[in-house]
Structure 1
């Protein structure tokens, strides 16, 4: 009897606290959905003018990417832009990449390559390769992508360059993944969609915090003035997002949502390779500026809390009219998010099936919880590309 009374008191005290957490979490989520993420929908896309040209150096770092380079190089060489070059940095490949580049580069007027035979042990190989590529660039404007990427159109360079106005030094591009069958592919594409909404909308509102190296443009002088990756040379990842976190600001950063500039990429096909990639990406987040970590952490935490508190509160109030308030508030968030994401998905070339958004929102609450806990587990880093 005493035990039942004690449990009742504890439950009575916890319910108001849980309800407050639920309301605060949903309110926080709604604010970002309606007033931050919605900025992506309103963003204007510059029209690509004919004849505009300032030199662009496209840089691709490759480690055993022979098959991909055979497909990518013709697409890059065929870009409709007056003044550009393509630099392939061959980082110690043993799959025949060097022989291919040596023999085939002469066929492509815009393409040249560099060969790396050895990387200093204390440096990230990707950052070292990028640094050599950028320093060798003939032009002031640098445009980055990866060997496993494919431009959406022959106007990729032109569209990205159009966003680089006189007062901008950085252009953030979009790089979705190709659609394939399977749960993992859908998970990867939704995660890419959410990440893009966040870094685009934050940049539009004046708080740029990252970019994606599969489609990223910036000035060579910006790289050299900030000593490149000097602050993070010994960190495995971060050649794109950590550098952007250091140098991007509300004055020098533009976003490009022209579908002609989208750079599609091939996603991981096994859980092991995807998990290793995500571990590397998430481990870099702890080096972000505090304000960025706080905002992103609050977004993930409130999404987790809104789902957990709803799942607990709904059964507790099942015989109480309050359940309709709980359900209504939760549905308000889901429906508002669905509307904004539906419109954003149209801007992103309809890379997702919009009817699945509520399902993936719940899955990602669990994803954030698991990966957040996992990220605190210390592991020895090994310098490798993948």
Structure 2
């Protein structure tokens, strides 16, 4: 029994080491190959040949956020762009603000959506209309509660699309640091999710992006019928779409700090749980190959810690009962424990370096605690999915 347990533990820890060495390390040591800012070429004085960009913001009852965000977007350093605000049935005065108070923001325009359509979820309808009405052929998406880190966010996020034959740029959106355990959990999950989707994209297996910071060509959207295959799924306007259309050849990542888009985190457990329900609701629609790859990654992470606990309990029981291990059991125990310790130290080093590159999302010193915290979180979340209650309707805002 102990032999089988140790062999399984050794296998799952080895799987984790493979992921860390050959997948996560790609992000840890990635060198941005695109220019830090877009070269603004001109054919003649005053005539820019740099393609225009449409920034899209879908908002519902986000008046306070829009008053802060729109001036930041309007001041982006780029020769030709527009900011298209999709006002989705807002009742908080957003329409009056957009009609009367943005005259001095020369790059801002808006479209009002007055009713909901039963054949498509509201967020996807708003985005689809935005892409149809966009003046330019490249769109950069963000949310109303987000704030770009710099005035070069636009130019540097679209640089891969202008400098290479890429159709998609995956960006990073960290959450603001707040006191409390919930905020630590949110930041830890955000970091580790970014580690996964950036690293797998660099490994040629892109599977998702985040709509708070995502750029792609409108031609890619319409060539793949937009959100047609998941038109009635709440959420998925970012990750399910990218899951369908992203390939090893058309996807780039951008981890330049200038391109980060800071988001406001949920501040109550109830709001956070609702957000997680939306995310879990779309994960089951991923491609089978992606689900298997992510399942192996997450499962080995959880099991490496769970089996460490079980092995520790077995050792304590043996000591309590004054039983001794055989020679090969001692050898397996030594090797497995060494692999587990090595895995923890390497995880600390590699993911800690990524965290450093991604706006110090989680402090390097508490990386081992984050490692254990995520294993417990993923284990509990996975267990909960086995005992789902009757699904309630989910809303994007």
User: TM-score, with normalisation over the residues of structure 2?
Assistant: 0.91
Matches within 5 A, 1:127-146: 127-146=124-143
Q: Does 1:30 align with 2:30?
A: no
Kept in 1: contact 2:174–2:359 (CA 8 A): no
Q: Does 1:51 align with 2:40?
A: yes
Query: Which residue does 1:18 correspond to in 2?
Result: 5
Distance 2:296 2:215 in 1: 29
Distance 1:48 1:357 in 2: 32
Query: Which residue does 2:107 correspond to in 1?
Result: 110
* SS of equivalent residue, structure 2 residue 206: coil
Kept in 2: contact 1:59–1:86 (CA 8 A): yes
* SS of equivalent residue, structure 2 residue 343: helix
Q: CA deviation at 1:326?
A: 4.0
Q: CA deviation at 1:49?
A: 3.7
User: TM-score, with normalisation over the residues of structure 1?
Assistant: 0.94
Question: Which of the numbers 230, 233, 249 marks the counterpart of 2:231?
Answer: 233
* SS of equivalent residue, structure 2 residue 86: strand
Query: Which residue does 1:361 correspond to in 2?
Result: 371
Distance 2:27 2:177 in 1: 22
Kept in 1: contact 2:188–2:374 (CA 8 A): no
Q: CA deviation at 1:54?
A: 1.3
* SS of equivalent residue, structure 1 residue 313: helix
Distance 1:315 1:369 in 2: 19
With 327-336 and 270-279 compared, the bigger mean Cα shift is at 327-336
Query: Which residue does 1:178 correspond to in 2?
Result: 176
Question: Which of the numbers 297, 316, 326 marks the counterpart of 2:314?
Answer: 316
Question: Which of the numbers 78, 81, 97 marks the counterpart of 2:75?
Answer: 78
Kept in 2: contact 1:209–1:245 (CA 8 A): yes
Structure 2: 5+ residue stretches without partners? 42-49, 320-324
Aligned length: 373
**Residues 383, 366 of structure 1: CA spacing in aligned structure 2 closer, same or farther, 3 A cutoff?**
closer
Q: CA deviation at 1:383?
A: 4.5
Q: Does 1:201 align with 2:199?
A: yes
Query: Which residue does 1:385 correspond to in 2?
Result: 396
Structure 1: 5+ residue stretches without partners? 1-13
Kept in 1: contact 2:167–2:220 (CA 8 A): yes
Query: Which residue does 2:44 correspond to in 1?
Result: none
Cα deviation code 1:15-68 (max 9, x no counterpart): 122111100110000000011000002222222144152110000000100000
Cα deviation code 1:282-317 (max 9, x no counterpart): 121111001100011111111111111111112323
With 316-325 and 127-136 compared, the bigger mean Cα shift is at 316-325
Cα deviation code 1:100-137 (max 9, x no counterpart): 01112221000000001101123211101111111100
Matches within 5 A, 1:157-172: 157-164=154-161, 165-172=163-170
Q: CA deviation at 1:157?
A: 0.4
Question: Which of the numbers 302, 308, 325 marks the counterpart of 1:304?
Answer: 302
* SS of equivalent residue, structure 1 residue 113: strand
* SS of equivalent residue, structure 1 residue 275: helix
Distance 1:89 1:307 in 2: 45
Distance 1:342 1:364 in 2: 14
**Residues 167, 50 of structure 1: CA spacing in aligned structure 2 closer, same or farther, 3 A cutoff?**
closer
Matches within 5 A, 1:261-272: 261-272=259-270
Distance 1:263 1:182 in 2: 22
Query: Which residue does 1:257 correspond to in 2?
Result: 255
Question: Which of the numbers 340, 358, 364 marks the counterpart of 1:330?
Answer: 340
> Runs of 4 or more off by more than 4 Å in structure 1?
318-324
Query: Which residue does 1:68 correspond to in 2?
Result: 65
* SS of equivalent residue, structure 1 residue 237: coil
* SS of equivalent residue, structure 1 residue 334: helix
Query: Which residue does 1:100 correspond to in 2?
Result: 97
Distance 1:58 1:215 in 2: 10
RMSD after superposition: 1.4
Distance 1:370 1:187 in 2: 13
**Residues 50, 167 of structure 1: CA spacing in aligned structure 2 closer, same or farther, 3 A cutoff?**
closer
